[in-house]
Amino acid sequence: MHYFELRNIQHFAAYIFPVCISLFVFAAGLAFSHFKTKKSQQASGKIYHTFSGGIQDREGPFPLVLILTILGTVLWALMYILAIGFVGVKI
Protein backbone atom coordinates (compact mmCIF):
# COMPACT_ATOMS: atom_id res chain seq x y z
CA MET A 1 0.00 0.00 0.00
CA HIS A 2 1.28 3.42 -0.91
CA TYR A 3 1.20 6.48 1.31
CA PHE A 4 -0.34 8.55 -1.46
CA GLU A 5 -3.23 7.33 -3.64
CA LEU A 6 -2.07 9.57 -6.49
CA ARG A 7 0.97 7.35 -6.90
CA ASN A 8 -1.29 4.46 -8.00
CA ILE A 9 -2.81 6.65 -10.71
CA GLN A 10 0.63 7.71 -11.87
CA HIS A 11 1.72 4.08 -12.17
CA PHE A 12 -1.44 3.25 -14.09
CA ALA A 13 -0.82 6.14 -16.50
CA ALA A 14 2.81 5.09 -16.88
CA TYR A 15 1.64 1.60 -17.90
CA ILE A 16 -1.35 2.45 -20.08
CA PHE A 17 0.11 5.18 -22.31
CA PRO A 18 3.00 3.12 -23.74
CA VAL A 19 0.56 0.28 -24.42
CA CYS A 20 -1.83 2.60 -26.26
CA ILE A 21 0.99 4.13 -28.29
CA SER A 22 2.36 0.67 -29.15
CA LEU A 23 -1.06 -0.51 -30.29
CA PHE A 24 -1.52 2.61 -32.41
CA VAL A 25 1.89 2.18 -34.07
CA PHE A 26 1.21 -1.53 -34.69
CA ALA A 27 -2.22 -0.78 -36.20
CA ALA A 28 -0.76 1.97 -38.40
CA GLY A 29 1.95 -0.44 -39.50
CA LEU A 30 -0.67 -3.02 -40.46
CA ALA A 31 -2.65 -0.42 -42.36
CA PHE A 32 0.26 0.88 -44.44
CA SER A 33 2.61 -2.09 -44.66
CA HIS A 34 1.81 -3.62 -48.03
CA PHE A 35 4.21 -3.03 -50.86
CA LYS A 36 2.32 -2.21 -54.04
CA THR A 37 3.80 -4.08 -56.98
CA LYS A 38 2.31 -5.29 -60.23
CA LYS A 39 2.40 -8.88 -59.01
CA SER A 40 0.65 -8.03 -55.73
CA GLN A 41 -2.06 -6.05 -57.53
CA GLN A 42 -2.70 -8.93 -59.92
CA ALA A 43 -2.76 -11.47 -57.09
CA SER A 44 -5.15 -9.40 -54.99
CA GLY A 45 -7.54 -9.02 -57.94
CA LYS A 46 -7.63 -12.72 -58.77
CA ILE A 47 -10.53 -14.63 -57.22
CA TYR A 48 -9.48 -18.12 -56.07
CA HIS A 49 -12.78 -19.44 -54.73
CA THR A 50 -16.37 -18.22 -54.45
CA PHE A 51 -18.35 -19.45 -51.46
CA SER A 52 -22.11 -19.55 -51.10
CA GLY A 53 -23.60 -16.17 -50.33
CA GLY A 54 -21.27 -14.34 -52.72
CA ILE A 55 -18.18 -14.41 -50.44
CA GLN A 56 -14.99 -14.42 -52.52
CA ASP A 57 -11.56 -15.70 -51.51
CA ARG A 58 -8.53 -13.69 -52.64
CA GLU A 59 -4.83 -13.87 -51.93
CA GLY A 60 -3.38 -11.02 -49.88
CA PRO A 61 0.22 -10.08 -49.01
CA PHE A 62 1.63 -10.89 -45.57
CA PRO A 63 2.10 -7.61 -43.64
CA LEU A 64 5.66 -6.46 -43.05
CA VAL A 65 4.82 -5.46 -39.47
CA LEU A 66 3.90 -9.04 -38.63
CA ILE A 67 7.13 -10.33 -40.15
CA LEU A 68 9.12 -7.87 -38.03
CA THR A 69 7.10 -8.72 -34.92
CA ILE A 70 7.63 -12.46 -35.34
CA LEU A 71 11.33 -11.97 -36.12
CA GLY A 72 11.77 -9.69 -33.11
CA THR A 73 10.03 -12.19 -30.82
CA VAL A 74 12.23 -15.05 -31.99
CA LEU A 75 15.42 -12.98 -31.65
CA TRP A 76 14.38 -11.75 -28.20
CA ALA A 77 13.66 -15.32 -27.06
CA LEU A 78 17.04 -16.57 -28.30
CA MET A 79 18.92 -13.67 -26.73
CA TYR A 80 17.00 -14.17 -23.47
CA ILE A 81 17.89 -17.86 -23.37
CA LEU A 82 21.55 -17.09 -24.07
CA ALA A 83 21.66 -14.29 -21.49
CA ILE A 84 20.10 -16.48 -18.80
CA GLY A 85 22.55 -19.25 -19.70
CA PHE A 86 25.62 -17.01 -19.46
CA VAL A 87 24.57 -15.29 -16.26
CA GLY A 88 23.70 -18.64 -14.67
CA VAL A 89 20.37 -17.74 -13.16
CA LYS A 90 18.37 -20.84 -12.22
CA ILE A 91 14.72 -20.72 -13.17
**Which residues, at least 6 apart from 46, have a Cβ–Cβ distance to it below 8 Å?**
58, 59
pTM: 0.56
At residue 62, φ and ψ (nearest 5 deg) are: -80, 125
Whether residue 71 is predicted with pLDDT greater than 90 in this model: the reply is yes
> How far apart, in whole angstroms, are the C-alpha atoms of residue 71 and residue 46?
30
What's the pLDDT band for 77 if we cut at 50, 70, 90? very high
> Between residues 8 and 17, which one has the greater pLDDT?
17
Each residue's pLDDT tens digit, 13-29: 888 998 999 889 888 88
Q: Express as a percent the part of the chain with pLDDT over 90.
A: 14
